[in-house]
Amino acid sequence: MPEPELPQKSKRIAVIPGDGIGVEVTREAVRILRAATSKSATQLHFTDFDWGADRYLRDGTSLPGGAVEMFRRDFDAILFGAVGDPRVPGNQHAADILLGLRSKLDLYVNLRPVELLDDALTPLRDRAAKDVRFTVVRENTEGLYVGTGGHFQRGTPHEVAIQEDVNTRRGVERIQRYAFEFARARNLRRVCMSDKSNALTFGHELWLRIFKEIRGDYPDIESRHLYVDALAMELVRDPSQFDVIVTCNLFGDILSDLGSQLAGGLGLAPSGNIHPGQVSLFEPVHGSAPNIAGKNIANPAGSVLSSALMLDHLGLHAPANLLREAVRASVKEKKTTRDIGGNLGTKEAGDWLVEYIAARA
């Protein structure tokens, strides 16, 4: 538990490294956050939580009772690594922890910026960094991921499986408004709302109707609607058309993975699970990657860029920009892990970023 007598200008960060490479990349991200804020007026105060597969297998704890209330009361943000371990059947602990926090803290925005940091990292021919810079705003609490539905005659030749797609007016409107506000606050000109309302004529008709209702409130923003299949095509053909893309839970999941590849792969991709103005959770897009865990080869950049999103959420824009600048410099100078063309280990890539930042903080 954090001590109550912190100086006024401090932010309390809960750190949940989790499993596999989540532990390795989070360790580096915390070192880098310390370096970036060491001389700033606002200090970060970190508290570690050992939730993950080891703890679950030892004593059955996944997300302890009272955790959600504790985060709301005692913390400003959560820095998360990754959860998932082949020793846990069905990864029950991962569902409890991550999906539990997303839904119980009502983290309705999944923010996934896609930014090509170096021309050489995109698989697209004749595309440069200026062409690949957009943010996917994914609805994070509804849609097909709410887990309602059921089986009928399971395991028989007649079995039926139903998975329900939940879309509420409140949920759809708040995520679409968030996308417009996000664009406006950053002087971005274009918001694209994507659905499949031509086929999903109930749930996604609501998405399109709400979009038509609210777009007039943002006359300064160019608003556009694309069916998700057309958007997938356009993202590969010409990603420079997009600044902000807002979409449902399932499509956001898929499109942001597509986006991560346009910008150099999973090792670099950051995300925020956000409720504006409330305690929010920041994590790299990648999972625990058991195949490369414990080998000091995981790229810490996704976690570092997620930490930058966390600093933005806390209003600490100067150190957030310093983190991004450091990662950009490391990519340009090839002081990175092997997945994006360098030859450093996780820790050594972290050392380079710490040194870069310490010289400029």
266 binding ligand ATP? (CB under 6 A): yes
187 binding ligand ATP? (CB under 6 A): no
Contact residue for ligand ATP among 299, 306, 307, 336 (CB under 6 A): 299
Catalytic one among 48, 106, 229, 238? 229
- Which sign does the torsion angle of CA 140, 313, 322, 25 carry? negative
| Residue 229 annotated in active site | yes
Q: Give CA–CA dist 217/266, Å, rounded.
A: 35
289 binding ligand ATP? (CB under 6 A): yes
Q: Give CA–CA dist 161/296, Å, rounded.
A: 42
| Span from 65-73, 117-125, 219-227, 297-305 in contact with ligand ATP (CB under 6 A) | 297-305
Write out the binding residues for ligand ATP, residues 223-252 only, by CB under 6 A: none
- What is the per-residue DSSP string for 181-232? HHHHHTT--EEEEEE-TTTSTTHHHHHHHHHHHHGGG-TTSEEEEEEHHHHH
Residue with tokens 């846990």: 88
197 binding ligand ATP? (CB under 6 A): no
CA distances from 123 to 117, 131, 199 (A): 13, 13, 31
99 binding ligand ATP? (CB under 6 A): no
Residue 335 is given by DSSP the state: -
21 binding ligand ATP? (CB under 6 A): yes
353 binding ligand ATP? (CB under 6 A): no
| Span from 95-103, 189-197, 239-247, 283-291 in contact with ligand ATP (CB under 6 A) | 283-291
Considering beta carbons, is residue 254 or 358 the nearer one to ligand ATP?
254
Considering beta carbons, is residue 85 or 165 the nearer one to ligand ATP?
85
Cα 51 to its chain centre, rounded Å, is 19
| Nearest by Cα to 335 from 320, 355, 321 | 355
Residue 245, strand partner residues: 136, 192
| Residue 356 annotated in active site | no
| Residue 335 annotated in active site | no
| Residue 253 annotated in active site | yes
84 binding ligand ATP? (CB under 6 A): yes
Tokens standing for residue 195: 């659905």
| Residue 145 annotated in active site | yes
Catalytic one among 108, 145, 178, 356? 145
What residue ranges bind ligand ATP (CB under 6 A)? 21, 25, 84, 266-267, 286-292, 298-299, 302, 339
Q: Which residue numbers are catalytic?
A: 145, 196, 229, 253, 257
